[in-house]
Amino acid sequence: MSEPVRLISREAVWQQDVQSDVVTTLEEMLERAKSGEFDGVALAATGRDGSSHTSFSKRNNAGLMLAAVTRLQFALLSTDREE
């Protein structure tokens, strides 16, 4: 007898893609942070249950951090992240 075929739903495939992108994005940013490129960072994340999670580091310039967050907000509202 042959083995049963496991069907993966479109939603499951999408979730795998999202999870992979989350990890890749964090790893890329971590490498940039380790190289000394950043002097502050703010993170926002969403959980599968709809929860939100935020964190930020010490920062030299709160105004620049707020500008970066505003730029991110604009990008999130403007595109599907096809950068």
- pLDDT at residue 38 in the model: 92
- Residue 1 in any domain: the answer is no
**Looking at the structure, do residues 18 and 48 belong to the same domain, yes or no?**
no
Domain-located, residue 12: yes
Q: 34 and 46 in one domain?
A: no
In this prediction, residue 19 carries a pLDDT of 84
In three-state secondary structure terms, 73 is helix
Question: Is it the case that residue 81 has pLDDT exceeding 80?
Answer: no
Burial class of residue 80 in the structure, from the number of CB atoms within 10 Å of its CB (0-12 exposed, 13-18 middle, 19+ buried): exposed
* Residue 83, pLDDT above cutoff 50: no
Beta bridge partners of residue 46, listed in sequence order: 52
Q: What pLDDT does 17 receive?
A: 75
pLDDT tens, 25-79?
Answer: 999 999 999 999 998 999 999 988 889 999 999 877 889 999 999 999 999 899 7
**Chain-centroid distance, C-alpha 26:** 6
Residue 51: which domain range?
Answer: 39-83
